[in-house]
Amino acid sequence: MTRFATLNKPLICLAAGGTGGHVFPAIAVAETLSARGYRTQLFTDKRGAKIATASIQDALSARLGVTVIASASPFQRGIIRRLSALFKLGFGVGQCLLHFCLKRPAAIIGFGGYPSFAPLFAGGLLRVPRVLHEQNAFLGRANHLLARHAGNLALSWEGTRNLPDNIHIEVTGMPVRDVFHQDSVSATSQKPAPAHKGEKLHLAVFGGSQGAAVFASLIPAAIGMLPADIKDRLMITQQARPDQIDALVALYAEMGITATIAPFFADIASHIRQSDLIISRAGASSVAELAALGAPTIFIPFPHAMDDHQTQNAMQMQNLGGGLCLAESGLDAKSLARHLTDLLSDRSALTDMAHKAKQLSRPDAAASITDMVEACIEGNPSSTSPSSNQGAAL
């Protein structure tokens, strides 16, 4: 499936894995590229294309095309699965070579995830300038495999681990979509102390683009343990898998709580702005978007994330005082209810967290990455490393 932008301007290709954590920063950079007059083309898998299509704003849709390519992780168990994955990756490289020979991109930007491998490898074969962006505080496998040969790496966090030697590195921050920078002050930081005990409290629960199954049981159980003066004022917005929605709606209805439950929120920024407190996984995109809006957050990192990168992401916010990081292992409804009670009953604590969360925001991140790309296109020596000339591809 391919949908190409048609404006006669230089083309920049973006390559991203099939989750929101990879796709959303790619869209954020595409917005900046579009504002500078470039056409953009996103290469991803079927899941990533679905997320992108649901998230692209109208102003960008004319300039951002989406191409679905074959992809798979080569680190699978079993010889048959590995051979199948290598075949898919090889087929994806062929798809990208055909596209690039026809469309001649000026540069390729990779945002990690295995669907980014084929476009970046194909770009190396054709000697197209390449820049990688790492979202997490630990360099992922795909980016680690490609970084030394691409030669240019943008980081979201200072102190990112697992970096190769002899490459050009810039700490640009994590790019977030324009919608998170519009009036980017959270509702919490604007609200005064409640004038009366009847003021509504808004709690939002997000589990990343794939949802979080454990939240469907843990969160309602914790809500049921809240003091009546908090529970009676509570309104909930929660992301859940489609098969969990009916059960969640019924659970909250039994408690007399108004709840909006959906598998995906295209207007997630507006829900965050309206919320007093967030419960969330700690993917890099989620952390950056919450920081951009100054949203006080309880992070429950996904415990099986590669190299435990979600915990490292969440700790960036906790260390600033803008969030709380709770490990899923050992976390029960009673302890979560205690944390919720402490925060929801203390407006000043929420306001302080909101202002500290905002300190982690880097509103110029997408522009900084775009600057790196333009430097590569122009052949600026400072944007390349000695290793980038050792081979065009892996």
Which residues belong to the annotated binding site for UDP-N-acetyl-alpha-D-glucosamine? 19-21, 136, 177, 209, 310
| CA atoms of 262 and 245, how far apart (whole Å) | 7
For 156-174, letters b (16+ CB in 10 Å) and e give bbeebebbbeebbbbebbb
Max alpha carbon distance in the chain (Å)? 67
Residue 300 makes CB contacts below 8 A (sequence gap 6+) with 212, 215, 279, 280, 281, 282, 326, 327, 328, 331
CA distances from 51 to 62, 64, 66, 232, 282 (A): 17, 14, 11, 35, 18
CA distances from 375 to 38, 81, 324, 349, 380 (A): 15, 40, 38, 44, 5
Q: Among 196, 130, 145, which residue's Cα sits nearest to residue 347?
A: 196
Asked if 245 and 261 count as a contact pair (C-beta separation under 8 A), the reply is: yes
| CA atoms of 51 and 24, how far apart (whole Å) | 9
Asked if 69 and 93 count as a contact pair (C-beta separation under 8 A), the reply is: no
Asked if 230 and 339 count as a contact pair (C-beta separation under 8 A), the reply is: no
Q: Which amino acid is at 72?
A: A
Residue ranges for the known binding site are 19-21, 136, 177, 209, 310
Q: What is the DSSP letter of 124?
A: H
| CA atoms of 209 and 344, how far apart (whole Å) | 26
Q: Which amino acid is at 130?
A: R
Token match 């260390």: residue?
Answer: 319
